[in-house]
């Protein structure tokens, strides 16, 4: 089965087009977890990484039955060096063991054999002598399009070989995304030109109604989302920017196709740091995972209500 079909199956099964962003920083991790890990491993990169692992595991255990997918942001792991990267890998594996689709938010992009190396490392299989290994083994990866087809095609090839998927950055959720992405070229913004290419790349990896090549379009730009939804009708859209970044359920309706599919909405801080939010003040620090579960249920409700 192709990756986009696996994603759709998980969305249908959980009745939730949402993804939890596993973007841990130490300030989100409860003090009692940090303290225990620092006692065991010292105030070291290893200690920080283990604290993040304990935090992730708590959230995954409390939410995996409600959601189709998670999106670990690798930057939050790389900031703790090799030890952090090891916990990224452990998190990917643990999530997959719980039946979740893992979207590696890695935003890689290079050219030729270098893009192939990223694709192989994160989605594919690398050869070592007579053996093969899947080094990080995410299900999806996010990809930056600035270098053009030379940068993206190697990822598409690996998707086809290994039954994996990618989401290509089209219109990002941040305030300055317009500096380049909104500039007008031949009568339409750059992000629409990127969308045209996503359609081209997507045609190389179709599975039924949808492609394994998806797109990233920020929840903070609902008007652009509507245009891009129509333009990329066979593309699954990963939508960041819901919640903490300001996107609301009502803004999201137009990111979906008429079949109710075609989009998956990410929330990171809003879920994983819910216990620090006034709205979930009834949960103690020790109940951070229960707060995350409550926040997932609220998010599902918010998105559902937008369709009514």
Residue 107 is a catalytic residue:
yes
Smallest gap, in angstroms, from Cβ of residue 128 to a copy of itself? 4
Q: What are phi and psi of 124, to 5 degrees?
A: -110, -150
Sign of CA dihedral 222, 227, 230, 235: negative
Catalytic residue selected from 13, 27, 71, 107: 107
Pick from 1, 146, 187, 258: which binds a copy of itself (CB under 8 A)?
Answer: 146
Nearer to a copy of itself, 66 or 111 (CB): 111
Quick check: 80 and 86 in contact, CB under 8 A? no
Coil, helix or strand for 168?
strand
1 binds a copy of itself (CB under 8 A): no
177 binds a copy of itself (CB under 8 A): yes
Cα separation, 138 vs 265, whole angstroms: 18
Residue 134 CB contacts under 8 Å (≥ 6 apart), including other chains: 124, 125, 126, 162
Smallest gap, in angstroms, from Cβ of residue 225 to a copy of itself? 17
Nearer to a copy of itself, 164 or 300 (CB): 164
Contacts (CB under 8 A) with a copy of itself, residues 279-298: none
- Return the bridge partners of 7, or none: none
Contacts (CB under 8 A) with a copy of itself, residues 224-253: none
User: Which of 8, 69, 95, 17 is CA-nearest to residue 300?
Assistant: 17
Nearer to a copy of itself, 14 or 220 (CB): 220
Stretch of 145-153, 231-239, 285-293, 298-306 contacting a copy of itself, by CB under 8 A: 145-153
Instruction: Give me the 47-86 binding string for a copy of itself, x by CB under 8 A, dash otherwise.
Output: xx------------------------x-xx-xxxxx-xxx
Cα separation, 93 vs 126, whole angstroms: 17
Q: Label residues 286-299 b or e (16+ Cβ within 10 Å = b).
A: ebbbbbbbbbbebb
Nearer to a copy of itself, 10 or 177 (CB): 177
Coil, helix or strand for 145?
coil
276 binds a copy of itself (CB under 8 A): no
Contacts (CB under 8 A) with a copy of itself, residues 87-126: 89, 107-115, 117-118, 120-122, 126
Residue 53 CB contacts under 8 Å (≥ 6 apart), including other chains: 87, 90, 91
Smallest gap, in angstroms, from Cβ of residue 166 to a copy of itself? 15
Read off the DSSP letter of residue 18.
Answer: E
Nearer to a copy of itself, 193 or 207 (CB): 193
Smallest gap, in angstroms, from Cβ of residue 245 to a copy of itself? 9
Catalytic residues: 107
């Amino acid at each position: 089965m192709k990756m986009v079909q696996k994603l759709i199956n998980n969305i249908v099964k959980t009745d939730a087009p949402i993804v939890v962003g596993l973007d841990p920083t130490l300030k989100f991790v409860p003090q009692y977890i940090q303290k225990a890990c620092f006692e065991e491993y010292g105030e070291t990169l290893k200690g920080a990484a283990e604290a993040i692992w304990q935090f992730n595991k708590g959230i995954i255990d409390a939410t995996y039955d409600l959601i189709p997918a998670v999106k670990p942001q690798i930057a939050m792991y790389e900031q703790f060096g090799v030890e952090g990267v090891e916990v990224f890998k452990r998190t990917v594996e643990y999530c997959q063991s719980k039946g979740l689709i893992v979207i590696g938010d890695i935003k890689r992009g290079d050219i030729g054999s270098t893009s192939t190396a990223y694709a192989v490392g994160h989605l594919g299989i690398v050869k070592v002598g007579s053996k093969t290994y899947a080094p990080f083994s995410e299900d999806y990866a996010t990809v930056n399009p600035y270098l053009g087809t030379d940068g993206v095609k190697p990822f598409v090839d690996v998707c086809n070989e290994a039954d994996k998927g990618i989401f290509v950055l089209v219109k990002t959720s941040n305030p300055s995304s317009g500096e380049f992405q909104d500039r007008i070229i031949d009568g339409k913004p750059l992000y629409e030109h990127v969308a045209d290419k996503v359609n081209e790349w997507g045609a190389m990896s179709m599975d039924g109604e949808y492609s394994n090549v998806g797109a990233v379009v920020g929840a903070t730009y609902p008007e652009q989302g509507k245009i891009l939804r129509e333009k990329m009708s066979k593309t699954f859209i990963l939508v960041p920017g819901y919640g903490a970044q300001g996107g609301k359920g009502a803004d999201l309706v137009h990111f979906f196709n008429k079949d109710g599919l075609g989009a998956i909405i990410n929330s990171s801080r809003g879920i994983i740091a819910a216990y620090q939010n006034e709205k979930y003040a009834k949960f103690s620090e020790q109940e951070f995972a229960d707060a995350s579960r409550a926040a997932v249920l609220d998010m599902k409700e918010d998105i559902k209500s937008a369709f009514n």
